[in-house]
Structure 1
Amino acid sequence: MKIAVFDTYVTTRSGALMHFDVLVPLGSSQLAENFAWQWLATIGLTRDAIELQSCQYCHSETPQPDTLQTIRRQGFAILPLEGCPVPD
């Protein structure tokens, strides 16, 4: 299974920058931004507390087994890169 990787940047109202990848199955790319919002809610950030700067397709790849398992379970996976808190 190949996945699409979406490079995503978010700025909080306090000015903090968060950078993460949204990983989705090929063919469900239109859902990447919704999955980004869904994940942000799990770490306590609501739409009124942040501004989504970009969620752009970057590339496709074959995922690691644990990532593939997460995608099969919830439809997507998140790869935190910079400034991202760990969900509770």
Structure 2
Amino acid sequence: MKKYIFGFLTGICLLPIIDSITELIQTALKIPKGELSKKVLKLNNEIQDLQFALEPIDTHCIGFEAPSNKEYLDDENEEDHKNKIGF
């Protein structure tokens, strides 16, 4: 009977207390992790600023490219394409 009562009290009282303690430990470990993330972000911003200063910006997206300063003369042969049927 004593083992039954001890097991019941353990399940009701001790397990939530142990769970709370582990949550506090996890939260305490996240603080140094956040500080390291801040330092890494600062260093990444400095590196990005240095790269912008050294290289011209050339923007690209997946499947797309920003138009450059070159002129494309696609309108020259419009008359040849008007009378064609199909591809």
Provide the TM-score with structure 2 as the length reference. 0.20
Which structure has the larger Rg over C-alpha atoms?
2
> Which structure has the higher relative contact order (CA within 8 Å, separation 6+)?
1
Structure with greater proportional strand content:
1
Structure with greater proportional helix content:
2
